[in-house]
Structure 1
Amino acid sequence: MSADPEQSPAEQGRVRRGEWPALLVSLAYFFCVLTAYYVIRPVREQLSAAVGSTQLPWFYLATFISTLALTPLFAALVSRWRRRVMVPVVYGVFVACLLGFMPFFAHQDALDARTLGIVFFVWVSVFNLFVVSVFWVFMSDIWSPVQARRLFPLIGFAGTAGALAGPVITRSLVGVVGIAPLLGVSATLLTVATICSIVLGRWARDEQRPETLDDAPLGGGMLDGLKQVFASPFMRNMAILLILADGIGTINYALLADYSGATFATGEARTAFAATVDLASNVFTMLLQVGVTWWLMPLIGPGRALILWAAVAMVSLALVVFASDAYAPLVGTMPAVAVAAIASRALGYGLAEPSRHALFTQVARSERYKGQNAVDTAVWRFGDLLVALTMNGMKTLGASVGGVASIGLAAAAAAAAIGWRLSRVRDLVTPVSRRT
């Protein structure tokens, strides 16, 4: 999709009068959501590093089953409840769960470490997908396609700032207060995000144009979202793109987990390393969003931005494929597997995610709330499982680190082709009202 020809490059990236109040609340909303997740993410990472990547398929299978069960429940919520009720309810459930985990981390004898580790890993993986998916579905519901191209990179920047703040909080507190209080910090941040969603819902009803304030229940059935993934050409392409992107991310994640497990002996050291990688990834993402994405996406459109992301992912994975020793320091103390993970993650969140979610603004509300959520949750976790099983199969056959990374390189090439198809998104969707 190309930029609006009636606007200059400067105007294409400009925030319009009347958008600032809602934009600032949206920035705070995403900042809190991502900070809440990244505060607890290193806790999950050290659990996966402790068991190694060969056990990840079992974790991913449990996560996929949990997500697949919850996706129809979410569809049922949006079918029957208005947006202003549904969003706070979803976040409220996750806040309650965070508070419920605190006693188990505070008193290690309340539940054996292995069971707690598995349950928490699966729960955090579900938590991440649903709180972020609900956020982006909400954004695509209150902002128009033209607004999305201008504002989503800025909103993504706020999320990256939160993803940067989370590891800083964790690194500062984990050695002093332990893990349990970190869950309380995460719950507090998610509560603030819930308040932001309520404020934005009121703004959408009171200030926006009539076509943007539809808050009615969607009706339909629990399985509508999963059906849309197969029935809609646009949703099919978005699902395939996400599986490919997930393949790239999961391969980098697993290679990094193996490196961490082989290099660091304690859970604290692995947690600190995971936080360092998160910190580096998010600094890179913020620089990208400030220097590139905010003006590039209005100029070339979200589909072509996805092509650029896929090309950079290919280059980063080629570093691992052709490295003589993927665990040897390449940039500072970081080995090739860490450099590839940082670059891939930064481009994924800094360029691909705002572009992908901007495309969803062009479909009907039912597809945004049901199909988009199904893609962002059940399809994503199916991709985790598929890629993890593929990697384990390759390792059983004796594949090297570079051999495993080559799968990710092939996935990036395929993602570039899907990005090209999505750049012609008008051929794949039934047009909705063109809001400005």
Structure 2
Amino acid sequence: MNPTRAAATREGAEPALSALAFFFVLTSYYIVRPVRDQLSGAVGSSQLPLFYAATFVAMLLLTPVFGAMVARFPRRRLLGWSYSFFIACLLAFVPAFLAQAQIGARLLGVVFFVWVSVFNLFVVSLFWSFMADIFDSARARHIFPLIALGGMAGAVFGPAVTSLLVGLLGVAPLLVVSALMLGMALVLLLRLSVRNSAGGTHGEDAIGGSLWAGVRELWSRPFLRYMAILMVLGDGIGTLAYALVADYAKAHFVTSAARTAFYAHMDLAVNILGAMLQLTLTRWLLIRRGAGWGLVLPALVNVALLLMVMLGGHATLSMLGAAVTPLVAVMMVMSRGFAYGMTKPAVDALYTRVPRETRYKGKNFVETAVWRFGDLLVTSGVSGLGKLGVGVAGMALIGAMVSSASVWVAQRAGHSPDLLPEDRPLPPGPAAASRTT
């Protein structure tokens, strides 16, 4: 096979392998997420600020460790060591779950909640750092929505696996299944790294630099500051939607089965909306208008949704004469669907336009420690507003103002002065070059 044809074949296979790898990553996570939730449910929602505080502390402690690994290890070894660590942890939790009665649901719940939160953020963040490292900006705008679609499929498949197997195997063996899924993802990512290195890039060189570079860059790079602010503001809208929906469910559904069905229907609607966006509007928007618009449009949608809830409160809609749906549920489905189906691919496409150290260290710090700081800040704020007697309309109005601010921040992030120039759109057919060094 001549070099040109080999390069075209490699470039055609890499998006498919990436989407499949992300499918296994999110399948692994969504298998263990219900296990985490049933443990935290045994403790109660009043403990969530404590859980988030513990997770935030864990993120801060792990930040210099991850920074040291990025500085020292080449990309392939970084992937191997990181994913292998989380696979080993999953297997180590198996005997703990078998001895849950002796350990206690509270202690095991706190430890597992924090670990799963760390697992999700680090594994997903590292995956997208790797994607931003092997694809350039023009290629990313074409294929990142499709890679995200593979993850969406995993988000649907994981809970289905849990529902099917938990009655047959119990909780502890599910952790082994999750470890196998993450192992499959690691094999595919290592294969991608080998194929990418064969293309003649220098991505396997260790990045070097300071182990605290991620923290330092947050203050020195305008783009990372915008990303951190958007992370906190976006998390605030999501947490507000979750709180309003929780109040509605508590008031309108008596049994746990009814509440479970209500949330299951919302999850299904979120995944369908996210998949539709990734297949249609998101890809077109990123290619034709640039990744910055993938941040601005969801923020504008959130403003409209929050104003709708402010005016309607707990009013309901009749969807085509079928099920009655509360406005707060519509807001939650739409905001999450746009977050997964548009915001995330756009953010990761923008990270292709920053240096490698920022892709790994800075991105990881924003998407782990800053995110969990936002969780802690927002859950405490929502709880405080509730105690002050602020109702649905008042919280929605505050959320609309916050989301209006995020529109401005999103616009600034897409045109941050420290972003590298955006690549021109790719011509039809296989790309001539799809990697960065």
> Would you call these one fold, judging by a TM-score over 0.5?
yes
Q: Is the counterpart of residue 230 in structure 1 residue 222 in structure 2?
A: no
Aligned to 1:246: 235
Aligned to 1:415: 406
The SS at the match of 2:312 is coil
Aligned to 2:5: none
1:343 to 334, 344, 355: 334
Aligned to 1:124: 116
Superposition TM-score, scaled by structure 2 size: 0.88
Do 1:83 and 1:217's aligned partners in 2 also have CA atoms closer than 8 Å?
yes
**For 1:256 and 1:44, how far apart are their aligned partners in 2?**
20
The SS at the match of 1:322 is helix
Aligned to 1:375: 366
Which has the higher mean CA deviation after the structures are superposed, 64-73 or 48-57?
48-57
Deviation at 1:122, TM superposition (A): 1.4
Which has the higher mean CA deviation after the structures are superposed, 357-366 or 317-326?
317-326
Distance 1:258 1:115, change over 3 A: farther
Deviation at 1:46, TM superposition (A): 4.0
Do 2:350 and 2:414's aligned partners in 1 also have CA atoms closer than 8 Å?
no
The SS at the match of 2:207 is coil
Which has the higher mean CA deviation after the structures are superposed, 361-370 or 402-411?
402-411
Aligned to 1:388: 379
Deviation at 1:126, TM superposition (A): 1.1
Deviations 1:233-289 (A, max 9, x none): 1111111111111111222233344555664655x7766654443232112211121
- Aligned positions of 1:132-143 closer than 5 A: 132-143=124-135
- Aligned positions of 1:7-18 closer than 5 A: 18=10
Do 1:48 and 1:257's aligned partners in 2 also have CA atoms closer than 8 Å?
no
Distance 1:407 1:177, change over 3 A: farther
Which has the higher mean CA deviation after the structures are superposed, 377-386 or 107-116?
107-116
Q: Is the counterpart of residue 167 in structure 1 residue 159 in structure 2?
A: yes
Q: C-alpha root-mean-square deviation of aligned residues, in Å? A: 2.5
Determine what percentage of the aligned residue pairs are the same residue: 46
Q: Is the counterpart of residue 214 in structure 1 residue 203 in structure 2?
A: yes
- Aligned positions of 1:84-99 closer than 5 A: 84-99=76-91
Deviations 1:399-426 (A, max 9, x none): 223433333322321221112112323x
Deviation at 1:188, TM superposition (A): 1.0
**For 1:173 and 1:307, how far apart are their aligned partners in 2?**
41
The SS at the match of 1:428 is coil
Aligned to 2:293: 304
What stretches of structure 1 of length at least 5 have no aligned partner?
A: 1-15
**For 1:114 and 1:135, how far apart are their aligned partners in 2?**
31
The SS at the match of 1:306 is helix
Aligned to 2:36: 44
1:61 to 53, 72, 75: 53
Which has the higher mean CA deviation after the structures are superposed, 169-178 or 182-191?
169-178
What stretches of structure 2 of length at least 5 have no aligned partner?
A: 1-7, 425-432
**Paired positions, count:** 416
Do 1:49 and 1:270's aligned partners in 2 also have CA atoms closer than 8 Å?
no
Do 1:32 and 1:193's aligned partners in 2 also have CA atoms closer than 8 Å?
yes
1:405 to 396, 405, 409: 396
Aligned to 1:114: 106
Which has the higher mean CA deviation after the structures are superposed, 123-132 or 257-266?
257-266
**For 1:153 and 1:291, how far apart are their aligned partners in 2?**
9
Deviation at 1:51, TM superposition (A): 5.2
Distance 1:423 1:136, change over 3 A: same
**For 2:36 and 2:392, how far apart are their aligned partners in 1?**
23
Superposition TM-score, scaled by structure 1 size: 0.88
- Aligned positions of 1:15-30 closer than 5 A: 18-30=10-22
